[in-house]
Amino acid sequence: MKEDGAEVGAIQSLQSKNEKIEEAKKGEEIAVAIDGPLVGRNINEGDVLYTYITFDQYEQILKKGKKFLNKDDEELLKRIMHTDRPAKQ
């Protein structure tokens, strides 16, 4: 989703230096294949995109995974959850 909560599409794959990867770390520049948006129309190079998580997923992260989060991760999680966005089914 975009910073304003608008849904963009579903991630198909991630690549770094022409190699498929499973995750990216903060500050890394990677290529993301997303099913749905058109570059230049729905998204633009340099846009910040977020992963949509449900409230239930958020609660599970806080219950079971908070010990694995650093301050930046916690802030990002809060930002995602406070984005004005429609509820997912």
Nearest C-alpha neighbor of 8 from the set 55, 54, 47: 47
pLDDT tens digits, 6-59: 889 999 999 999 999 999 988 898 999 999 898 889 999 888 888 888 889 999
Cα–Cα distance between 25 and 53 in angstroms, integer?
A: 18
Angle at 86 between CA 9 and CA 26, to 5 degrees: 55
Any idea where the domains of the chain sit in the sequence? Answer: 10-81
Max CA pair span of the chain: 39
* pTM, to two decimals: 0.72
Nearest C-alpha neighbor of 62 from the set 79, 83, 78, 49: 78
Cα–Cα distance between 70 and 86 in angstroms, integer?
A: 28
